[in-house]
Amino acid sequence: MSESLLEVRNLEKYFPIKSGLFQRTTGHVKAVDGVSFDINRGETLALIGESGSGKSTIAETIIGLKSATGGSITFDGEDITDLSESELEDLRTKVQMVFQDPTSSLNPRRTVEQTLEVPLKARGVPRGERVSRIVDLLERVELNPEHRHRYPHELSGGQKQRINIARAISIEPELLILDEPTSALDVSVQAKIVRLLDDLQEEFDLTYLFITHDLSLVRNVAERTAVMYLGQIQERAQTEQLFEQPHHPYTQALLSAIPVTSDDEEAYKPQQDRLEGEIPSPENVPTGCRFHTRCPYATDVCETDQVPLHAVDDHGEARCHIYDPEHADAFENVPDVKTAAAVRSTPHE
Ligand SMILES: Nc1ncnc2c1ncn2[C@@H]1O[C@H](COP(=O)(O)OP(=O)(O)OP(=O)(O)O)[C@@H](O)[C@H]1O
Ligand SMILES: [Mg+2]
């Protein structure tokens, strides 16, 4: 049994842009453009990045809601890049997803019991056992079993998301993809859902792909983090190291936007200001390094040459020319991005 449960290699998802009377394809939205990562069994990998960077598209491609236009996805040693409907049904007994909006994920005309019955029935759980399984599931997501008679409109946002989580774990999947599972909820409810997910992960030995733009959350949930920008991973590292010493100017800018909680943190905060300007359109990605239009360190080479992920300091990788010895001359006159890296010692609660 290999250590990694999921392997994503050079994943591409290009959406055609059609225009004119004949709806000719005039270009492509490169929503996901050469993304690779692994998730080991039992671990949590966080995927972070600004809106539109391609996070949900990756999730939906893994679970087969969208088909990849390039690259491959392997789950538990099997290629799942291009599955038939019946193969997808099988896959979804092992890979489940929880979406951002807890309301639209539930059928308003079904009670909780009816909703939770569907996957159990599909899995062949006999009718007589279903209610006790549903009661069990509700208890596991810390809801009163009486809630099974309620309709979605009779539940709070947090309760609805608990039902979505109960449905996702009801068939005992191995991988749970969580796409902004708490961002539609109040802060106090978010913390409870995160704690629940943490407990469930331990209890069921679950592997998580955790998508979020809430950086302070990442630190509490994920062993490793990948930072997305315009369809590409810009940096990959152990989460703790990413926070202590972000290597990519983009990650530094993202982290500098988190409020500091102590003088120490202030002292080591990345020197860069918040990100300026809008994220460019993925219909028309910048040449060279995709981040060069917003990067304070960008030089000529960044405008012209694409960047691979460079290994940095034995831990993590960053898609930045600064880490390429060949381009050392080009960055002679810019402040050393490595020393501008943050040391953020206090974990966020
Ligand atoms: N069906 C589609 N057709 C065309 N473009 C699409 C489609 N779905 C997504 N996109 C584009 O792909 C890019 C990536 O979108 P995606 O939803 O994956 O981003 P995201 O990182 O999840 O953003 P958010 O944080 O807002 O959820 C965006 O530019 C989006 O407009
Ligand atoms: Mg999204």
Least confident of 22-26, 121-125, 162-166, 213-217: 213-217
Mean pLDDT for 214-238 is 94
Q: How confident is the model at residue 293 (pLDDT cuts 50, 70, 90)?
A: very high
What is the CATH topology of the domain spanning 4-222?
Rossmann fold (3.40.50)
**Mean residue pLDDT across the chain:** 89
Give the list of residues 6+ apart from residue 286 with CB closer than 8 angstroms, or none.
Answer: 230, 280, 292, 293, 303
Digit-coded pLDDT (tens) for 117-170:
999 998 899 999 999 999 999 999 999 999 999 999 999 999 999 999 999 999
* Ranges of each domain in the chain: 4-222, 226-331
Digit-coded pLDDT (tens) for 58-117:
999 999 999 999 999 999 999 999 999 999 999 999 999 999 999 999 999 999 999 999
Residue 348 pLDDT exceeds 50: no
Are 347 and 220 within 8 A, CB to CB? Answer: yes
Rounded to the nearest whole angstrom, what is the distance from the C-alpha of residue 9 to the centroid of ligand 1?
20
Taking the CA of 57 as reference, the closest ligand is: 1
For the CA of 57, the closest atom of ligand 1 is: 18
Rounded to the nearest whole angstrom, what is the distance from the C-alpha of residue 231 to the centroid of ligand 1?
9
Residue 332 pLDDT exceeds 90: no
Using most ligand atoms within 8 A of CB, pick from 25, 53, 254 the residue to mutate for ligand 1: 53
Digit-coded pLDDT (tens) for 168-198:
999 999 999 999 999 989 888 999 999 999 9
Supply the pLDDT for residue 137: 95
